[in-house]
Amino acid sequence: MKILTAEQIKACDAATIAKGISSGNLMEKAARACVDWIKMNCQSKQKFSIFCGNGNNGGDGFAIARMLYEKGLDTEVFIDKSNKQFSPDAHINFKKIKQLSGISIRDFSDFSPDSHENVVLIDAIFGYGLNRELSGSVKKVVEKMNQPAATKISIDIPSGLFADRLIDEKSTVFEADFTLTFQFYKRSFLHPESGKFCGKIIVLDIDLDADFIAKAETGYFVIDEDLIRDIYKPRDDFANKGTYGKSILVGGSYGKIGAILMSSWAALRTGSGLTFVIAPECGNFILQSQIPEAMFINSGEKYLEKIEIIDKATYGIGPGFGKEKHSQKALVDFLKNHDRPILLDADALNIIAENNKSKLIPKHSIITPHPLEFERLFGSTENSFERLELAKQKAEELQIFIVLKDHHTAIITPDGRVFYNITGNSGMAKGGSGDALTGIITSLISQKYAIEEACIFGVWLHGKAGDLAAESFSKEAMLPTDLIQKIGEVFKYLSG
């Protein structure tokens, strides 16, 4: 799914209108889509308070109020009565609700933030076109709207957020439980500093011009199931183990064998044909007893001392690797003598950072840093938007793929495109989850998925398995090993 800028979305609306639907009817379609979702998901709620601005987002709100009222629901509208300069379509919909005696129209200042369990607060004050911080009466009412323990819904984008950039950390923003957005994600939904205001994102299809969307140029995308189904390759019934490649997971050290065990287990669950583990002797019994399907290659007693180069194999290096001198030398020697793409994670990245060896990373390799590992490698940034821009610069400079881990992990390609992942949950914020991802992506590359496809599919698969694990065990109780167990259910879902 493409992510378009605010300007592009405005142009897409115009292109849709030019194809024959009036702006008023497009607003009706958007409002109807919202009402259908609200009616389906808020059936137990007794009252709807809708806060409307003067632009087209407010027009959506007026239309939503009318449609909810027509469905027999108790509805009230709040506006800034001191400012009556509505956009043309908002003015039309405002006049319609004024003719309905059952909808009270009140001033923002009349709203009381008393907690009401069965009330839904709907924010339709500002849409994606906002380019300034909230102030005055709007700021005051949003601050009051954030207080009640009521269900909170934003229409298109929470008021106070910008579509394409971050807000100041002290800005006032509506804190939504759900954001009903039209056709596209906005980039601000996908970064932690701004996405925290959005709650659950619901993308509503309102049939914006498909030709415009297809031709629109962007470097930003959301990984959706259509893309995953295009990438996924069902298992060939006439294949053999050699068909699905050779995965080599390198890591583990005394006290950290579990990390490389989880990577290897995840690689096997993802379909690796042959799986090898290069680890120190202290992990031999644990690995051979827990994952007998993987073959063990000894490297040192307690810590890795050498990384054997095996022909036609895909390497995933780093989980539990440790940073002992012998291990550091083993990694640097390997990088000097191996020129095929590899995956580097965890301690492998920390060793590269400490020794300033990023230029040794083979072209088209993958690195999978979390924010702190990224900072060690490439320097600090002020926020996640700046971090992403630096990642784009480094991916191009080193000609590598960067899997930048976060709540919405981003895959950055060497040509500067960004793919945001929307599977996964906070239950995966536990040691071991990243080790599983290393095994998953390594396995997919060994199965001859293109490297870009392996990154996209692997991150999505990892998150989807995590979502299934959370459903079974809860976010609090789920373990990375539960996630690995759920990989098979994801494949069954894709092949069903």
Domain boundary among 184, 218, 252: 218
Q: 155 lies in a domain?
A: yes
Question: Do 245 and 262 meet the contact criterion of CB atoms below 8 Å apart?
Answer: no
Do 294 and 361 belong together in one domain?
A: yes
Do 93 and 194 belong together in one domain?
A: yes
pLDDT exceeds cutoff 70 at 72: yes
pLDDT exceeds cutoff 70 at 259: yes
Q: 38 lies in a domain?
A: yes
Q: 1 lies in a domain?
A: no
Domain boundary among 160, 194, 218: 218
pLDDT at residue 461, as a whole number: 98
- Cβ within 8 Å of residue 25, ≥6 positions away: none
Q: 15 lies in a domain?
A: yes
- Cβ within 8 Å of residue 38, ≥6 positions away: 48, 64, 68, 120, 122, 153, 180
Do 136 and 255 belong together in one domain?
A: no
pLDDT at residue 115, as a whole number: 65
% helix / strand / coil in the chain, to the nearest 5?
A: 45, 15, 40
**Token duo for residue 238:** 């006439």
What is the domain-level CATH number for residue 267? 3.40.1190.20
Question: Do 31 and 50 meet the contact criterion of CB atoms below 8 Å apart?
Answer: no
List, for residues 297-319, the tens digit of each pLDDT value. 999 999 999 999 999 999 999 99
What is the domain-level CATH number for residue 64? 3.40.50.10260
Question: Do 451 and 366 meet the contact criterion of CB atoms below 8 Å apart?
Answer: yes
SS3 label, residue 38: helix
The interaxial angle of helices 346-354 and 433-446, nearest 10 deg, is 90
Do 261 and 167 belong together in one domain?
A: no
Range from 81-90, 327-336, 377-386, 405-414 carrying the lowest mean pLDDT: 81-90
Do 304 and 197 belong together in one domain?
A: no
Do 241 and 203 belong together in one domain?
A: no
Q: How many structural domains are present in the chain?
A: 2
Do 483 and 336 belong together in one domain?
A: yes
Identify the domain containing residue 185 by its residue range: 6-218
Do 283 and 163 belong together in one domain?
A: no
List, for residues 107-161, the tens digit of each pLDDT value. 999 999 886 778 999 999 999 989 899 999 999 999 999 998 899 999 999 999 9
Domain boundary among 158, 189, 218: 218
Do 400 and 281 belong together in one domain?
A: yes
Q: 269 lies in a domain?
A: yes
For the whole prediction, is pTM greater than 0.85?
yes
Using alpha carbons, select from 51, 5, 50 the residue that is nearest to residue 162.
5
Do 13 and 60 belong together in one domain?
A: yes
What is the Cα–Cα distance from 239 to 109, expressed in whole angstroms?
69
pLDDT at residue 113, as a whole number: 85
End-to-end CA distance of the chain: give it in Å, rounded: 23
Mean pLDDT of the chain: 96
Q: 223 lies in a domain?
A: no
Do 288 and 412 belong together in one domain?
A: yes
Q: 270 lies in a domain?
A: yes
Do 414 and 477 belong together in one domain?
A: yes
Q: 445 lies in a domain?
A: yes
